[in-house]
Amino acid sequence: MSFLRQFLPPVFTASGTFGYAQEMENVIDLSRLGAVIPKTVTLAPRPGNLPPRTVETASGMLNSIGLDNDGIDEFLQQKLPYLAGLRTKIIVSIAVKNIGECAVFGEKLQSAAGIDAVELNVSCPNVSGGVDFAADPKLCEQVVRSMRQSLTLPLIVKLSPNVWNIGEIAKGAESGGADAVSAINTCLGLAVDWRNRKARLGNGFGGLSGPAVKPIALRCVRQIFCAVKIPVIGIGGISTIDDAMEFFVTGASAIQVGTANFYNPAATMQIIDALPAALAELGVKSVAEIIGSLAL
Ligand SMILES: Cc1cc2nc3c(=O)[nH]c(=O)nc-3n(C[C@H](O)[C@H](O)[C@H](O)COP(=O)(O)O)c2cc1C
């Protein structure tokens, strides 16, 4: 049985779009979420990329944060105690620079109280080398296997859409021992200020998210669903119950809401409220009954 069956409702907040949850405690009822996924943490602190780090585009947002974070030790001391006290599941998002970091990371996470699962982010487009593990099935398998060996917690691997065949990468993650994959991280993009002949982000390229990426994310979820047996968690442009249902029938066992948190912090609550009626429209009682039922 998939570990995700205990993460109900299957509506989570996506890493990097919900801070460390405390910022949102007066805005929504955090205990109603299936899980919270805080900002990705790395072993050593990272200052992140040059500003400006976000820019609005016609149908989504382009960001280049560059995994700005205080490092895992600070996270475990300063952020995790609050998160662990919430009445919801906590999925800690991590990124590694190389395979050697997996063992150290695994040891630290394994001995910390209050972590329900780990999401290995192999797909951040805004850091040097950030997509390597997500671009090659063998490399992906190796990093996941190494993480798996030092971790007994459920392991989710977050994939990048910036690859030729995401199904093959998902197979690599599955062979390495992942319990689930999540997709998608942002799509590599560029915003231009032609008058000054400059990129609008300090780092040049950035990652596109929001409504614009939903069709890409749905395509990726379907390709992964058809390629592997482990569950897929859908992410990308989800802001309404209709978006969420599209992902479930396409093959997602759960969904994450990202950019929508910035312009409608109640989006997750609205989706959770609307879920029973949407399922009833299809004559079912649970999401499990419709996962991947799309005729395609
Ligand atoms: C400002 C910003 C910061 C993000 N930071 C992270 C991050 O630290 N780790 C990660 O795995 N994904 C990060 N993401 C990607 C989101 O979690 C999500 O995969 C992506 O934005 C697509 O979903 P959406 O269209 O619902 O936003 C970030 C996205 C945005 C917009």
Q: What is the pLDDT of residues 148-172, one digit of tens each?
A: 999 999 999 999 999 999 999 999 9
pLDDT band at 9 (very low <50, low <70, confident <90, very high): very high
Asked if residue 213 has its Cβ within 6 Å of ligand 1, the reply is yes
- Shortest-distance Cα residue to atom 6 of ligand 1: 16
Would you say residue 42 has pLDDT above 60?
yes
Residues 44-86 have pLDDT tens digits of 999 999 999 999 999 899 999 988 999 999 999 999 999 999 9
Check residue 132 and give its pLDDT. Answer: 80
Q: Which atom of ligand 1 is nearest to the CA of 239?
A: 26
Asked if residue 158 has its Cβ within 6 Å of ligand 1, the reply is yes
Residue of 15, 67, 166 to test ligand 1 pocket, by largest number of atoms within 8 Å of CB: 15
For residue 124, indicate whether it is catalytic: yes
Q: Which atom of ligand 1 is nearest to the CA of 182?
A: 19
Residue of 53, 127, 259, 271 to test ligand 1 pocket, by largest number of atoms within 8 Å of CB: 259
Q: How far is residue 270 from each of residues 48, 133, 293, measured CA to CA in Å? A: 32, 35, 23
Residues 248-283 have pLDDT tens digits of 999 999 999 999 999 999 999 999 999 999 999 999
Check residue 128 and give its pLDDT. Answer: 53
Q: What is the chain's mean pLDDT, rounded?
A: 95
pLDDT band at 129 (very low <50, low <70, confident <90, very high): low
Check residue 296 and give its pLDDT. Answer: 84
Q: Which atom of ligand 1 is nearest to the CA of 63?
A: 1
Q: Which atom of ligand 1 is nearest to the CA of 214?
A: 25
Check residue 127 and give its pLDDT. Answer: 64
- Shortest-distance Cα residue to atom 31 of ligand 1: 259
Asked if residue 237 has its Cβ within 6 Å of ligand 1, the reply is yes
- Shortest-distance Cα residue to atom 14 of ligand 1: 16
Radius of gyration of the chain (CA): 18
Q: Give the residue among 191, 186, 188, 160 at the shortest CA–CA distance from 173.
A: 160
pLDDT band at 122 (very low <50, low <70, confident <90, very high): very high
Calculate mean pLDDT across residues 165-190: 97
Residues 215-240 have pLDDT tens digits of 999 999 999 999 999 999 999 999 99
Asked if residue 49 has its Cβ within 6 Å of ligand 1, the reply is no
Would you say residue 130 has pLDDT above 80?
no
Q: Where are the domains of the chain?
A: 3-48+67-186+210-289
Other C-beta atoms closer than 10 Å to the C-beta of 149 total 13
Region 3-48+67-186+210-289: CATH code: 3.20.20.70
Would you say residue 123 has pLDDT above 90?
no
Distance (Å, rounded) from C-alpha 286 to C-alpha 261?
25
Does this model's pTM top 0.85? yes
CB 112 within 8 A of CB 88: no
Residue 259 CA, ligand 1 centroid: distance in Å: 7
CA quadruple 192, 264, 182, 223: dihedral, nearest 10 = -70
